[in-house]
Structure 1
């Protein structure tokens, strides 16, 4: 088969302390690394990853829950970031075999929200279904609430749910079998959606494992994920048994007008990504895609093993690499690189993005967090407590927020006018409290001062070495409210 030509405060502190026990410190020098090597973790099957508003987010199979998220501003930071629980609602019946969570940013009945699609059941393979959870706000870290089993009364067997919008219509892709689980070969299905948790049509199988490279070990088509470029829609899927080294990726292209018709999809006759014995990569598959921070590069995220004898378990690690496009508009995923290959970080990732805030009138002292309070100290230990990423303000452009380097996702915010380090809970109140307008220094225009976003009559200043937001009326206060941003 040939493809057609393509177009070109107390409880809070307790919670913070618990989170702190999970965090692995990230030296500032590491956060500024301009290259990296795979893998991104020591175990990370079925990865899903995106870059959103200044941070990378990574989710992998948790097996039995909770579903966790890693977040960091840099790839190196992501390799060291804590796996933070974001969804823990797993009652009996969907508390086992929690597989392949994906998170998608969709405009649903409650406005723009993040939706987690994951597979789970009661423990037997025949129990697996696709479930959906919705975020409370627009933070990928949640919290999330359960919305339901997406197949509704149809109660089809299914795993690996993923979402794609074609034209104005949203669709669900997944791996399923005819009827319920009978041991039939899993295939790629599609159905239209009326909401992020509701299907509106019957399903159509658009790919079944028939080619020789799709049937190694076990006939299998699973893990479908859409890839759109230049007006074309592709579906990349995993083929053959994940228990063996020949797990790989295949490609479908939408060549017809109706996505719900199997005849509208054309399968590439050869795999597009597979094992590389020369590079020591086995079983590469179950992938996702994301773009670089500046939007100029396309990257694939996938899992793989380092030995042909490793199978479908925790030995699989998360890897990423850039891919390109062929002249006919199809993706060129290339060959999976070895774990010794040094790669440049995605384009637009800011080297040296982390800074320190030096007190203007106590130049030996720097802003730091200590037990989640914020102060200026002359000796900051560990040094990472005094490094922050000045990112676009959580409350809007033209502002800044201060994200901790060793507690990714934690920001400086005012609470009762005192400064604390706290995890972003996704609320508008948190965003406002953690956002500042950078101005010329009140005591020295060559330095900087930071005006509270929601209390514009107050500025960030130190008082008895502790940081707070205050009204500024004296020369001493102006000096206390002035800082030098250093690297």
Structure 2
């Protein structure tokens, strides 16, 4: 049965992540406008997340690591425990930490992640120290993989996408592999950015959506594709769509759609796209500090060739 949504579902929640657990609940987290904490909420339906009481499970530090710009948390359930991946920056006397992020991990062994204790597992370290964020993980053929965005000082631009296997939820194994960098015109407007990866497996393929360009109306989503039986650590296994797959729609009044996650309908029969967008084009000041990227949801379609069809971001109220 196709679920219907009235968008926006949750206002002022950017980088939205929704996960449907085996207990029937949708667990939701996102960046808050203050960038100072991590919230969780849950509900038995996506539309009901709007009325669900948010629980603050972690707050930023006053100084040092994890003291500024808490961005893009994601909640995952791995081997019987809950994990939150997030990015945080370090503040100094001369810098508010902007674009100095690193990735961190929290763990909770409670049945309900809105309860119990969230334990800091520390920084999720990559092969080198640089701006890194937007960690996500997925399992394939018994192996857990991490995908994230990071700046390579040797490559022009702000962030590329990397993949590596995980030894445990907070430790990568071996060498990270770059699978995408900003190269098309639509990926390099304002910033040269590939970020916000999300993974969906279907039809014998693994798809990684990601977001590109500045976080204003130019923000758009791209797609990487690999065969499910390919070597996911071989960059040649991944093909990139030359055109964006989800973009601003003047017709529906939706601007800068992106930083998505994937979930399923209550009965599991439909794939659901969760994303943020604004309902106006012009922004005063830095788009990062405009709070009105709202969480939205709509059905994810599938083309005859087995690839996802993102469609057009639907208008508010639909």
TM-score, L = length of structure 1: 0.59
Q: 1:138 aligns with which of 106, 111, 120?
A: 111
Which blocks of at least 5 consecutive residues in structure 2 are unaligned? 91-95
Aligned partners of 2:111, 2:172: CA distance in 1, in Å?
Answer: 23
Q: CA deviation at 1:163?
A: 0.4
Give the equivalent residue in structure 1 for 2:81: 113
Give the equivalent residue in structure 1 for 2:93: none
Judged with a 3 Å threshold, the aligned counterparts in structure 2 of structure 1 residues 156 and 218 are, in CA distance, closer, same or farther, namely closer
| SS across alignment from 1:124 | coil
Give the equivalent residue in structure 1 for 2:123: 149
Judged with a 3 Å threshold, the aligned counterparts in structure 2 of structure 1 residues 75 and 263 are, in CA distance, closer, same or farther, namely closer
Q: Deviations over 1:102-147 (max 9, x none)?
A: 011111xxxx111100000113234200100001323232431100
Q: CA deviation at 1:324?
A: 1.4
| SS across alignment from 1:327 | coil
**For the Cα contact (< 8 Å) 1:162–1:173, is it kept in 2?**
yes
Q: Is residue 306 of structure 2 the alignment partner of residue 329 of structure 1?
A: yes
Pairwise CA RMSD: 2.0
Q: How does 1:81-120 map to 2 (within 5 A)?
A: 81-88=52-59, 90=61, 92=63, 93-107=65-79, 112-120=80-88
Give the equivalent residue in structure 2 for 1:452: none
Aligned residues: 302
Q: 2:48 aligns with which of 64, 69, 77?
A: 77
Give the equivalent residue in structure 2 for 1:60: 30
Q: Deviations over 1:57-90 (max 9, x none)?
A: 2111134332111222234432122221122364
Q: How does 1:385-464 map to 2 (within 5 A)?
A: none
Aligned partners of 2:164, 2:246: CA distance in 1, in Å?
Answer: 26
Aligned partners of 1:304, 1:54: CA distance in 2, in Å?
Answer: 27
Give the equivalent residue in structure 2 for 1:459: none
In our comparison, the structure showing a higher alpha carbon Rg is 1
Q: CA deviation at 1:183?
A: 7.1
Give the equivalent residue in structure 1 for 2:9: 40
Aligned partners of 1:177, 1:89: CA distance in 2, in Å?
Answer: 23
**For the Cα contact (< 8 Å) 1:130–1:159, is it kept in 2?**
yes
| SS across alignment from 1:289 | strand
Q: 1:279 aligns with which of 239, 242, 252?
A: 252
Q: 2:150 aligns with which of 152, 158, 176?
A: 176
| SS across alignment from 1:120 | strand
Which blocks of at least 5 consecutive residues in structure 1 are unaligned? 1-33, 342-487
Q: 1:197 aligns with which of 146, 155, 170?
A: 170
Aligned partners of 1:267, 1:202: CA distance in 2, in Å?
Answer: 22
**Larger strand percent:** 2
Judged with a 3 Å threshold, the aligned counterparts in structure 2 of structure 1 residues 245 and 152 are, in CA distance, closer, same or farther, namely closer
Q: 1:158 aligns with which of 132, 138, 153?
A: 132
**For the Cα contact (< 8 Å) 2:127–2:175, is it kept in 1?**
no
| SS across alignment from 2:15 | coil
Q: CA deviation at 1:36?
A: 3.9
**Larger helix percent:** 1
Question: Larger relative CO (CA 8 A, sep 6+): 1 or 2?
Answer: 2
Judged with a 3 Å threshold, the aligned counterparts in structure 2 of structure 1 residues 249 and 35 are, in CA distance, closer, same or farther, namely closer
Q: CA deviation at 1:42?
A: 2.2
Aligned partners of 2:251, 2:13: CA distance in 1, in Å?
Answer: 22
Q: CA deviation at 1:328?
A: 1.0
Q: CA deviation at 1:327?
A: 1.1
Judged with a 3 Å threshold, the aligned counterparts in structure 2 of structure 1 residues 164 and 331 are, in CA distance, closer, same or farther, namely same
Structure 1 range deviating more: 98-107 or 142-151 = 142-151
Aligned partners of 1:59, 1:151: CA distance in 2, in Å?
Answer: 23
Q: 1:167 aligns with which of 130, 141, 146?
A: 141
**For the Cα contact (< 8 Å) 2:60–2:70, is it kept in 1?**
no
